[in-house]
Structure 1
Amino acid sequence: MLEVRDLSVALSGRTILSGIGLNAAPGTLTAIVGPSGSGKSTLLRAITGEIGYHGSARLNGLEVRQTCPERLAALRAVLPQETHVAFAFTAAEVVALGAHRGPTPSPRRIDELLATVGLRGMGHRLVQSLSGGERQRVHLARVLLQAGEPVGPEGPRWLFLDEPVSSLDIAHQLGVMRIARSYADKGGAVVAVMHDLNLSAMFADRIAVLSAGRFVTSGPPAEVLTGEMIERVYGCHIPVCTAPEEGPWLLVQAARQTLSA
C-alpha cells in the first residue's frame, strides 16, 4: 500500500502542500489531477523521496523519508515531468541506465523495452536527435527497466509517473496509458500525475483531486469527475457525460460558449 497521512511540504519558506491524505493499492492505477500549480508534482516528489515532508508517507509499510535510496529504488521507479540528458547517449544507453541492480541488460531486452514504448529499432539514435515525445518514451522505457516485474520478492512494485503523456499525440498517449494499466493489472501499482481528465477517466481506478495545495476529494472516476467538481476546482463550466458505447468512462466536453469566451 501507499499510505499518505497529513502530509505537508514547504519549499523556500512557502507552504506548497498542507494536510494531504492519499491511499493507493497494488493492482490499481491512481491519477492525481488538479489545476496547474496545485501541487501535484510536489506531492509526487515527496512520496517518492525526492524532497522532504512533514507527516507520513509509507510505501509497502516503509516510511519514505526513513528509507535508504537503494531500497526505494528496488520498490519504485519514477518518471519525472522532464529529464535532461547532457551527454551524447543513444536511446539504448539511456534505457540501460535503469539497471540499478544486477548485470547490464542485454541488447535484446533493451530492444524489447523500446519496442514496448513504440520505438522499435531506434536504440542507436542519439537522444538529442529525437523529438520531445520520443525522448519522453525513451525515459519511460528506462523506468520500466528499473521497475522490473510488477511483483517482486519484497511485494508489489510501483510506477510513479509525472505527466507521462504531456508531449505525445493521441495514439501514443493511449499506448503509454495502456502500458501503465497493464502494469497495474499484473499486480503492480501506478500513481500518475495527469492533466487530461478523459484519459484519467478511461484508465484510472481512482482519481485524487488537489487544489491550491490541499486535498479536495478522491474516489472512482464516475464519482469524482462531476460538473460541480470541475466548476469548483477548475473554475469553468464543462458538462460531463457518459460514453454511450464504451461503458462507464466519462467524457469531459467543453461547451462552445466556454471555448469562445
Structure 2
Amino acid sequence: MIASKGNTAHFAIEAEHLNLTLGGKQLLDNFSLKIASGEFTALLGPNGAGKSSLLKVLCGEQDAGGKVTVFGRELKDVKPIVLAKHLGVLPQHSSLSFSFTVQEVIELGCLPLQLSNAQTKAIATEKMKLVGVHSLKNQLYTTLSGGEKQRVHFSRVLTQLSQADEQCILMLDEPTSALDIAHQHQTLQVAREIAKSGGAVIVVLHDLNLAAQYADRLVIINEGKIQADGNPWEALTRKIISHVYGWPVNISKHPTDDYPVIIPESSPVKGTLECEINKF
C-alpha cells in the first residue's frame, strides 16, 4: 500500500498546474485534474489534443512541472516497485519481439508481486479467462493479430494489479483501437467493473458513443485545457462537440438505456474542412 500523509479523501490522483509543450505545441496549459476512486473517467478530444501525454504525466513517464499526487502522496516520492503494484498502464502500442507464449507474457505482470510460481499461474489464468485470451495461452505472442496482442497486454496489466486492493489505478490508452465490436465492449465492461469495485479507471477513447455508454465522467481536452467535464449528458452536447471537433452532430437518447447517442451529420461545420485543407 502507498503510505500517505494525512487524509487522502477519495481521490486516487490529483494533478495541479501541469504545463507541457511538445513540438512547439502546448498540450497542457496550467492544467489541473482530480481523479476519484470508484469512477470510470474517459479522456476525449481530437487527435493531438494531449490525451496520451496526460496519461504519461499522470503515471510519471513524462514531466510537466506542477504536482501529481497518488493517494495523497507525491508521485515522485513513491518507489517504482511500490507504484507498480497499484498503478497499471496499457499504452497505445506495446512492442515485444521475443517468442514468448501468451501465458508467459501475461505472467510478466506478476514481476512486482513476489509470488510463487503456483500463485503466478493461478492469477494469470484468472485474468486470461476474464479478458477471453485463455484459449491462446500456448500460442506464441509474435503470431497474434493486433487485436489479440492488445487483449493479451490488457490481461497482463490486470495481472499486475491483482494485489492493488482499494488503491488501484488502471490507465488505458485507446484500448479498443484494434478490437472488433464484441471485444471492445468486453474490454470496457471489465474496466467498468474495476471502477465499481473501487478502482480509479482512466481511459483514452476516440469513440464518443463508447465513452457515453461506459464512462461515469467525460473530460474533453483541447488546446491545453479542459473544454468539458461531467457526465455523458453534460459533456456531450451538440455545441461542445461541434466546437471541439469541428463537426456537427445530432444527439438522441439510447432506446433502452439512459445515455446519449451521437450521430454525425454528413457535412462539417462551415469553414472547418476548408481551413484544414488550406493548411497544406
Q: Which moved more, 1:213-222 or 1:97-106?
A: 97-106
User: Contact 1:37/1:212 (CA < 8 Å) preserved in 2?
Assistant: no
Secondary structure (helix, strand or coil) at the match of 1:253 reads strand
TM-score by length of 1: 0.92
Within 2, Cα distance between the matches of 1:14 and 1:223? 28
CA-to-partner distance for each residue in 1:3-62, whole Å, 9 max, x for gaps?
A: 111211234665332111212111110000000000000000000011112112111012
- Asked which structure has the greater CA Rg, the reply is 2
**Structure 1 residue 249 and structure 2 residue 259: aligned?**
yes
> 1:106: how far off?
3.7
Which AA in structure 1 matches 2:199?
G
Within a 5 Å distance, the mapping from 1:1-261 to structure 2 comes to 1=11, 2-11=13-22, 15-99=26-110, 100-103=112-115, 104=117, 105-149=119-163, 152=165, 155-246=166-257, 248-257=258-267
Gaps of 5+ in 2: 1-10, 274-280
> 1:109: how far off?
2.9
> 1:191: how far off?
0.6
Gaps of 5+ in 1: none
Number of residue pairs matched?
256
User: Contact 1:27/1:188 (CA < 8 Å) preserved in 2?
Assistant: yes
> 1:217: how far off?
1.9
Within 2, Cα distance between the matches of 1:228 and 1:13? 28
TM-score by length of 2: 0.86
Which AA in structure 1 matches 2:264?
A
Q: Percent identity?
A: 37
Within 1, Cα distance between the matches of 2:202 and 2:229? 13
